Structure formats: structure tokens, C-alpha cells
């Protein structure tokens, strides 16, 4: 096969990779595993880069400086132009906190370590992934780190060891083992970090340095192997989804698929090779890097700015827009630099790269120093944007495994030593209600303690991980020592039944085999919550079950900020109350049954305070957002629902008065 035809196959594979990633990110049905397109890129990159290094070493022409200069010429111009454009668009669109975070992303990316930043941000309360315009640069950071380390490793092994290929393969196996281990124990590290991703790049590298042989596959054999490789790729693209543990062993499908596809087409021209070498796929492959760079910012900014959910035509238009931007980037940025029409010399390109890193890095840091330049926005837009921020005092009440026992509870109201306390126990939705519990406890002269941990349902035996199980056990053990009277259970109950509003089932209850079934999840919650209530009542605790607030389908602070920027009304923004009742139907029935079966159990429903007679569950009040995101109430929102918790505080106040009266009588 000719070298040109072989490269056309690679370009076609690039096209498959970028198509899979773009359609996955834009939510096109069917492409649930399109994220494996990044893994396809990794294998291709490892193969091509190693081929270049090895061929030049064989010809005694390899230079580290030349290699890194070529990488800079290939990657940095288009990347820097995209980053600059994102900063400009962010000036007009992003809330201060998000613009500040964008600045941090820029600073990390120009230092080639944005993957580490995003790995650290993969937390419960970090900005949603579809609001991080540079999130996709994590994969570029992984490749850039590989380009720095791998030439040194290959040179060292091949010059010092006789069986250096076996040593390189051993490095691959170690990386693969780390990936498999980390998927179970540290999934965020498995996804973002080079040591757990290097084996995919090394798979391509091993193919590039494999000893040449005169033996060739038969035509039939090449056709079958090529078809099998393509099938492995398609299987991952169409059958994987967000719940697939990844990368780890699951990444073997796309990785091996690419390896055998390149290998078989290196022996014979195949039908799959001919498909990949078609003009359309080759054309898309040529612009795949720039398309990849631009598709994610288009998606993020459209999500950020949109007031309504995008329809099929909107999504198609956005995909075409990202494709057009990718083409323009390839035509006017990538190509002139790659063909050395601009900054042709090695010293010139490296000096320009250094200046670009310095300028963009300082620009990113400046956004950190200036808190995202809040002066860009109107006072009203800023007021809405503030709704997404949690005070440090609230965040400190979110417990984890590192929280010591004496810091497990946050105390509010009367001194804990002088009054019988009420316990608020739950997940982060309990934390969101701290303002109303704090105000109520002080106003009524009672004592309230609160224990919460993100993503942890306050029902023993239903926890989704060991962290939550330990948290609940610690609460159970500490309750008696705390002289707790009433117990308030607060959670985002539907999260554990049905996942979030976008269909993520990461916290949903499952059967013993780890499979999700709605009926089984409902049964498990009913049995577990009833058992918990029975246990609490047997210990003499009065129980308050707090239903969740209406879950919005968007982030209210973002939506309201955007409307304020556009000078559009906000009084019709919210969730239809019918949608809320529909999602809460089982939970409402369950709570009502538990309250009916167990005297001393009361149900508290925040929805009536938030939903008006017009059938809308509102998100705004007097220029303030009632939510911090699509499901947690803001401090204004928490205080707004205070009346629904008034019976709870009245009861505590009455008990406190009786207790004080008995103490005085004893005196």
C-alpha cells in the first residue's frame, strides 16, 4: 500500500473519532459511547508520533528540539487562537465566578496540566462540565505530557537495552494495570491522568516500532481483521454510556480496534480502509484537530447562553457552526503554520510559543486576581450570579471521611449543653437549608444540630458507597451521646430513585447485581426508609420527613443572569408544578403512608411555598435567585420556605419551655 493511501486511512480514523466525540457531546441519540473518540485519538497519536521519532532515529536525524518545535507548530497556534476567542466571548457572557474559573483553566492549559485541574474539580459542587469551556483540553494536556516524556523514554530504552521493545511493552502493561485499578478506586484519576492513559498512546507506539516482516496477511485475513477492528470501535461508540466504568478494561475495545485496523490495512487494502479513505472522511480527518478544539466551546457557550432547551434543528445548527469554525481554524491557522508560511524557523516558533504561553498565562491569572472582572455586568446580573455561591460556613458543614468526630455536627441556636437538641440529618440538601435552621433556632431559643454529607442518603443500608455508609454509622453512634430529641431527614430523594434530571444514575439505588431498575429502587427506598423510621421511633425520636424542593431543568443563577444581560423578564422562569408532582408521586405516597402508619412522624413539603397558583415553581424573588443550581436552594430560597418549618420550631420551643419549667420547679 502506498504511503499516501495509508495516511488517508489514518485521516479517516481521525474523522470517526471526532464525529463520535462531537455527536456524543451534543447529545445526538445513539452515540452514548462517543467519548471513546478521545481514546481513538490517543492510539493514532501514539502511532504517528512514534513513527516519526523512530524513522528519524533510524536515519540518525532525530533531534529533541526539532521534535518539540514541530509539536508546538502543530498544536499551539490553533489552541491559542481558540483560547483567545473563548476569553473574548467569556467577557460578554460569563458570570464573574465562571470567568475567574476560565482564567484558571487557561493558566493550567498553557502549562500543559489542565487535566490535573479538571481532575481536582471533579467534585460534587464543582461547576457542571457543560459550563467549563476548556474542559476538553484535558486530552491535549495528556498528549502534551506524553510528547515531553516519551521521546526521552524511547531514546533511553532503545539505546540501553537489547530487548527494549519488551521493556516498552512492560511500561504499557503497568499503565494498563494502573488504569484498571484506578477506575475502581480513583475514577477521576483514571480518566484524567497520563499514567492511567499512557497505555493507549503506547499501544499505537508499539505498533509503530514493531519489527518489520516480509510476511503479509492474506486478503481475506486482512478484510476480516479490519472489519473486526472497526466493529470493536463501533461497539464501544454505540454500546458504552456514562455509566460504563472507564477507561480501564473497557478502553480495550476502542484501543484494540484502532490497533488491528491500522495493522491490517498496513498489509492489504481493505473495504474498511477504502471507506476510511473516502474523500468526505479524509476531509473531516484533516480538520479533526481544529473541529475538536472548537466544538466544545460552541456547546458550552450555547448551553450557558440559551434560555430555552435546544431542539434538533438548534443542535444541528450548532454542530455545523463548530464544523465551520474548525474548518476556518484549519484553513487559516493550522495550515499556514504547518506549511511554515508563518514563523518558519525553529527558533521563531519556539519563541512565539513561549510568548503565547506567557501572555495567555498572565491573562488567565489576571482573571483570578480580579475575581472575574465583575464590573462587566449590571448590578442585577451580578445579584443573580451571586445565587450560585455557597458561603464557606455552609461548605464546612459538609462532612467527609476526614471530618473528625468533634466536627461532625454543626450547632445552631441555644447552647447545646443546656437544651435537648434536634438533629437535621441528610445529604447536601440538608446543608442548603442551614440558613432557615440557623434563623429558626435562634428566633425560638432552641438547639439544632446538623450533619450532612454530599450524595449520602440518610437511610442506613441504602448508601451508594463506603464513604456514605461510614458517615451514617457515625451519625447513628453519635445520636445518643448528643441527647437528640426530634430527627429531621432531608435528602434529594428522587436522585436515589431515578438519577438526576439529565438521566445520570450514578447515585441511584440498584439491585444486588448492580443493575438499575426503577421498581426495585422504589422498593428499596420504601423498605429502607420505613425501617429507619421504625428504629428512630423505637428510640423515642419524633421524625420529620422533608420532601425535596422542585428540581429545575436548568441552573437558575445562570438562566437569570443571562436574562438580565439580555434585559428580558424573569417572572415566567421555573418548572411547571405538574412536572414536579409527577416526579414526586411515589415519594409523596411513601411519605404519606409512613406518616399514617407511625404516630410521631410528620411530613414537611417546601413545594407550596415555591410554587404559585399559576402552576409555576418559581426560581426568582425580588431580584434574587432562589436556587444555587438546578436542585439546591440558595440562602434566599432557604429562608423563603421558612414558614413550612414553623411547626417544627414551635414544637421544639414548647418542649424547651416545658423542660425549663420542670428545671425551675425542681429548684
Which of 323, 346, 376 marks a domain boundary? Answer: 376
In a domain, 368, yes or no: yes
At residue 9, the pLDDT reads 84
Q: Is the pLDDT of residue 2 over 50?
A: no
Q: Is the pLDDT of residue 227 over 70?
A: yes
In a domain, 528, yes or no: yes
CA dihedral 581, 584, 587, 592 (to 10 degrees): -20
| pLDDT band (50, 70, 90) for residue 664 | very low
State whether 66 and 154 are in the same domain. yes
At residue 419, the pLDDT reads 57
| pLDDT band (50, 70, 90) for residue 128 | low
CA distance 162 to 158: 7
In a domain, 577, yes or no: no
At residue 481, the pLDDT reads 65
| pLDDT band (50, 70, 90) for residue 405 | confident
CA distance 182 to 195: 10
At residue 644, the pLDDT reads 95
In a domain, 628, yes or no: no
Number of structural domains found in the chain: 2
- Supply the CATH number for residue 535's domain: 3.40.50
Which helix (H) or strand (E) is 378 found in, with range?
A: none
At residue 332, the pLDDT reads 96
State whether 277 and 148 are in the same domain. yes
In a domain, 133, yes or no: yes
Nearest alpha-carbon partner for 543 in 503, 596, 599, 584: 599
State whether the Cα torsion 322-324-330-336 is positive or negative: negative
State whether 92 and 116 are in the same domain. yes
State whether 361 and 487 are in the same domain. no
State whether 371 and 281 are in the same domain. yes
State whether 240 and 300 are in the same domain. yes
At residue 293, the pLDDT reads 98
Q: Is the pLDDT of residue 555 over 90?
A: no
Residue ranges of alpha helices (H) inside 210-345 are 219-239, 252-267, 271-276, 279-286, 288-305, 312-329, 335-338
State whether 283 and 204 are in the same domain. yes
In a domain, 626, yes or no: no
Over residues 510-537, the mean pLDDT reads 93
Q: Is the pLDDT of residue 6 over 70?
A: no
Q: Is the pLDDT of residue 342 over 60?
A: yes
Which of 376, 400, 423 marks a domain boundary? Answer: 376
State whether 403 and 362 are in the same domain. no
Residue 208 Cα to chain centre, angstroms: 34
Q: Which domain holds residue 544?
A: 392-549+584-609+634-656
Over residues 154-167, the mean pLDDT reads 93
Query: Could you read off the pLDDT of 24-82 as tens digits, one per residue?
Result: 999 999 999 999 999 999 999 999 999 999 999 888 898 999 999 999 999 999 999 99
State whether 112 and 185 are in the same domain. yes
Characterise 393 by phi-psi region: left (phi > 0), alpha (psi -120 to 50), beta (else).
Answer: alpha
State whether 370 and 420 are in the same domain. no
Q: Is the pLDDT of residue 171 over 90?
A: yes
Percentage of residues in the chain with pLDDT exceeding 90?
72
Q: Is the pLDDT of residue 319 over 80?
A: yes
Q: Is the pLDDT of residue 390 over 90?
A: no
Query: Could you read off the pLDDT of 232-271 as tens digits, one per residue?
Result: 999 999 999 988 999 999 999 999 999 999 999 888 889 9
CA distance 438 to 288: 54
At residue 306, the pLDDT reads 76
State whether 70 and 45 are in the same domain. yes
State whether 370 and 406 are in the same domain. no
In a domain, 559, yes or no: no
Percentage of residues in the chain with pLDDT exceeding 70?
95
At residue 417, the pLDDT reads 55
Which of 325, 349, 376 marks a domain boundary? Answer: 376
- Rounded mean pLDDT of the chain? 90
In a domain, 564, yes or no: no
| pLDDT band (50, 70, 90) for residue 663 | very low
Q: Is the pLDDT of residue 660 over 80?
A: no
At residue 1, the pLDDT reads 39
Nearest alpha-carbon partner for 550 in 515, 505, 520, 580: 580
Amino acid at each position: 500500500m502506498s504511503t499516501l493511501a495509508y495516511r488517508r486511512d489514518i485521516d479517516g480514523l481521525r474523522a470517526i473519532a471526532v464525529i463520535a466525540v462531537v455527536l456524543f457531546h451534543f447529545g445526538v441519540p445513539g452515540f452514548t459511547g462517543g467519548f471513546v473518540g478521545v481514546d481513538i485519538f490517543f492510539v493514532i497519536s501514539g502511532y504517528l508520533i512514534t513513527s516519526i521519532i523512530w524513522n528519524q532515529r533510524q536515519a540518525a536525524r532525530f533531534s529533541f528540539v526539532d521534535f518539540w518545535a514541530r509539536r508546538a507548530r502543530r498544536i499551539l497556534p490553533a489552541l491559542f487562537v481558540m483560547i483567545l476567542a473563548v476569553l473574548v466571548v467569556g467577557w460578554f457572557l460569563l458570570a464573574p465566578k465562571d470567568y475567574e474559573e476560565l482564567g484558571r483553566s487557561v493558566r493550567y492549559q498553557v502549562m500543559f496540566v489542565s487535566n490535573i485541574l479538571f481532575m481536582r474539580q471533579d467534585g460534587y459542587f464543582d461547576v457542571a462540565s457543560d459550563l467549563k469551556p476548556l474542559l476538553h483540553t484535558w486530552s491535549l494536556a495528556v498528549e502534551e505530557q506524553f510528547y515531553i516524556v516519551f521521546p526521552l523514554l524511547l531514546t533511553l530504552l532503545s539505546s540501553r537495552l537489547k530487548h527494549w521493545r519488551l521493556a516498552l511493552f512492560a511500561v504499557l502493561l503497568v499503565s494498563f494495570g494502573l488504569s484498571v485499578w484506578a477506575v475502581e478506586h480513583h475514577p477521576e484519576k483514571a480518566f484524567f491522568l497520563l499514567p492511567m492513559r499512557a497505555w493507549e498512546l503506547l499501544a499505537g507506539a508499539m505498533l509503530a516500532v514493531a519489527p518489520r516482516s516480509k510476511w503479509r496477511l492474506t486478503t481475506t485475513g486482512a478484510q476480516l481483521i479490519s472489519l473486526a477492528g472497526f466493529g470493536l470501535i463501533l461497539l464501544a461508540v454505540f454500546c458504552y454510556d456514562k455509566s460504563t466504568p472507564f477507561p480501564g478494561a473497557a478502553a480495550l475495545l476502542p484501543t484494540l480496534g484502532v490497533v488491528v485496523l491500522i495493522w491490517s490495512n498496513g498489509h492489504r487494502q481493505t473495504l474498511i480502509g477504502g471507506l476510511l479513505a473516502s474523500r468526505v472522511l479524509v476531509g473531516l480527518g484533516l480538520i479533526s484537530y481544529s473541529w475538536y478544539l472548537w466544538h466544545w466551546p460552541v456547546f458550552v457557550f450555547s448551553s450557558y447562553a440559551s434560555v430555552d432547551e435546544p431542539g434538533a434543528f438548534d443542535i444541528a445548527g450548532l454542530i455545523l457552526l463548530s464544523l465551520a469554525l474548525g474548518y476556518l481554524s484549519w484553513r487559516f491557522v493550522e495550515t499556514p503554520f504547518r506549511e511554515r508560511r508563518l514563523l518558519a524557523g525553529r527558533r521563531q516558533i519556539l519563541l512565539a510559543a513561549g510568548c503565547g504561553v506567557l501572555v495567555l498565562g498572565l491573562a488567565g491569572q489576571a482573571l483570578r486576581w480580579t475575581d472575574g472582572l465583575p464590573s462587566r455586568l449590571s448590578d442585577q446580573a451580578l445579584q443573580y450570579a451571586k445565587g450560585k455561591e455557597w458561603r464557606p460556613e455552609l461548605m464546612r458543614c459538609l462532612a467527609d471521611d476526614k471530618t473528625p468526630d468533634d466536627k461532625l455536627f454543626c450547632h445552631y441556636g441555644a447552647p447545646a449543653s443546656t437544651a435537648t437538641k434536634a438533629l437535621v440529618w441528610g445529604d447536601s440538601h440538608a446543608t442548603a437549608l442551614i440558613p432557615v435552621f440557623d434563623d429558626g433556632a435562634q428566633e425560638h431559643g432552641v438547639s439544632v444540630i446538623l450533619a450532612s454529607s454530599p450524595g449520602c442518603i440518610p437511610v442506613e443500608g441504602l448508601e451508594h458507597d463506603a464513604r456514605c455508609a461510614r458517615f451514617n454509622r457515625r451519625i447513628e453512634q453519635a445520636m445518643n451521646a448528643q441527647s437528640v430529641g426530634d430527627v429531621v431527614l432531608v435528602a434529594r430523594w428522587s436522585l436515589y430513585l431515578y438519577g438526576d434530571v439529565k438521566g445520570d444514575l450514578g447515585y441511584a439505588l440498584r439491585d444486588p447485581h448492580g443493575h438499575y431498575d426503577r421498581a426495585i429502587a422504589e422498593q428499596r427506598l420504601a423498605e429502607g426508609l420505613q425501617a429507619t423510621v421504625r428504629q428512630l421511633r423505637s428510640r423515642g425520636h419524633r421524625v420529620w420527613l422533608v420532601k425535596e424542593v422542585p428540581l429545575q431543568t436548568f441552573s437558575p443563577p445562570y438562566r437569570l443572569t443571562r436574562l438580565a444581560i439580555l434585559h428580558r423578564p424573569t417572572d415566567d422562569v421555573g418548572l411547571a408544578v405538574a412536572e414536579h408532582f409527577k416526579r414526586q408521586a411515589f415519594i409523596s405516597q411513601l411519605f404519606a403512608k409512613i406518616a399514617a402508619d407511625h404516630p410521631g412522624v410528620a411530613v414537611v413539603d417546601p413545594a407550596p411555598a415555591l410554587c404559585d397558583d399559576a402552576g409555576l415553581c418559581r426560581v426568582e424573588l425580588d431580584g434574587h435567585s432562589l436556587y444555587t443550581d438546578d436542585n439546591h436552594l440558595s440562602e434566599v430560597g432557604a429562608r423563603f420556605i421558612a414558614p413550612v418549618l414553623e411547626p417544627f420550631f414551635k414544637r421544639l420551643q414548647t418542649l424547651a419551655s416545658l423542660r425549663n419549667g420542670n428545671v425551675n420547679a425542681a429548684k
